[in-house]
Amino acid sequence: MVDVLGGRHLVTCKGAAVEAEVALQNKVVALYFAAARCAPSRDFTPLLCDFYTALVAEARRPAPFEVVFVSADGSAREMLDFMRELHGAWLALPFHDPYRQLESNGAVSTHCGSPASAS
């Protein structure tokens, strides 16, 4: 995943930027496509948060797993609000990063306006 996101910055739920290479090196990375307006996203996000929290708590530091949120929200504010409300301590692609548009090139399929699974 570092190869895909190399040279990019990711953001925390507080809006701080981190280098993808540093944050994701030697980790299994899950890309999580979701949107606040999508009921299945709102239902699944707390489950993923609990899983992530338990996995990271049990792992040696640094934990070998990371979630990167790829927002299908309508605005940067909506994205950050969703992250602060329901997400774990995950990283996210910045709202204006062109890689957020993976669903438009057919790389992933969508459900209720947000990507749901890999094609």
Whether 78 maps to a domain, the answer reads yes
Whether 83 maps to a domain, the answer reads yes
Whether 106 maps to a domain, the answer reads yes
E strands, 24-88, are 28-34, 65-71
Query: Which pLDDT score is estimated for 115?
Result: 46
Whether 20 maps to a domain, the answer reads no
If one counts the domains in the chain, the total is 1
Whether 4 maps to a domain, the answer reads no
pTM of the complete model = 0.81
CATH number at residue 59: 3.40.30.10
Q: In terms of residue numbers, what domain contains 57?
A: 26-118
**Per-residue H/E/C for 49-77:** HHHHHHHHHHCCCCCCEEEEEEECCCCHH
3-state class (DSSP) for residue 109: strand
Beta bridge partners of 19: 9
Whether 103 maps to a domain, the answer reads yes
Whether 12 maps to a domain, the answer reads no
Whether 39 maps to a domain, the answer reads yes
Q: What is the pLDDT of residues 53-111, one digit of tens each?
A: 888 888 777 678 899 999 989 999 999 999 999 887 889 999 999 887 765 555 555 55
